[in-house]
Amino acid sequence: MLKETLIYKTYLASREGIARVVSRIVPPHEIEDIVQETYVRLCQVENKESINSAKSFMYKMARNLALDHQKRANVRLVDSVDDWHEFEKALCDRHDEVYDKAITSLEFDNFCEAVRLLPLQCRKVFVLKKVYGYSQREIAEELELSESTVEKHISQGIKRCTVFMRQAQKGKTQVSATTSGKRGGAHE
């Protein structure tokens, strides 16, 4: 019972620190839930006497809970086909000054279409890498693939998107040439 009281007091004294650790991993609205879940899990530990450092144990537990929470959130995003359609729609509807300055709306639409046409597994890997900035190792762990498979999907995604974008650009150039030819003859 003495160990439980010590752990509880350590938890109360460490709440803010735990929240800071968790805040680096999960969105702000999830922090308090993770901190509370840490305490619940701490209470469920059967052999509290085996805990050498209650503070280190709590921080590690909170960090692991936050990482698990984030992983579940990412898996929900990746696994649901409906979510992918919503994500792609949001990706294509995205209005960002950097994108607006860097590429035209048509080019971005073509890019979204190129990504949408990728095979599902390739698309998941490609989006995690290029949109979310995951490392190959993180993607491999997230999707339970080998790193070489992840690398292959990224390479395939880049190749297919590049080919699609080039073909779309050629089509745009041909349409422009055809349109200018109809307006007043060919200009050479």
CB of 84 closer than 8 Å to CB of 116 = no
> Which residues have C-beta within 8 Å of that of residue 180, sequence separation ≥ 6?
186, 187
**What is the CATH code for 81-181?**
1.10.10.10
Instruction: Give the span between the Cα atoms of 41 and 58, in whole angstroms.
Output: 9
pLDDT tens digits in sequence order for the chain, 188 residues long:
566 677 778 888 888 988 988 888 888 888 888 888 888 888 888 877 778 888 888 888 999 888 888 877 665 555 544 555 565 565 555 455 544 444 566 677 778 888 889 999 999 998 888 877 888 898 999 899 999 999 999 999 989 988 988 888 777 645 444 444 444 444 43
For 22, residues 6+ apart whose C-beta sits below 8 A from its C-beta are 30, 31, 34, 35, 62, 63, 65, 66
Q: What is the C-alpha end-to-end distance of the chain, expressed in Å?
A: 92
The class that CATH gives domain 2-77 is mainly alpha
Residue 51 and residue 7 in contact, taking contact as beta carbons nearer than 8 Å: yes
pTM of the model: 0.40
CA distance 77 to 87: 8
Return the pLDDT at 140: 92
Single-letter code of the amino acid located at 16: E
Domain boundaries, the chain: 2-77, 81-181
Question: Percentages helix, strand, coil for the chain, rounded to the nearest 5?
Answer: 85, 0, 15
**What per-residue confidence (pLDDT) applies to 184?**
44
Q: Rounded to whole angstroms, how far apart are CA atoms 67 and 141?
A: 13
Residue type, 24: R
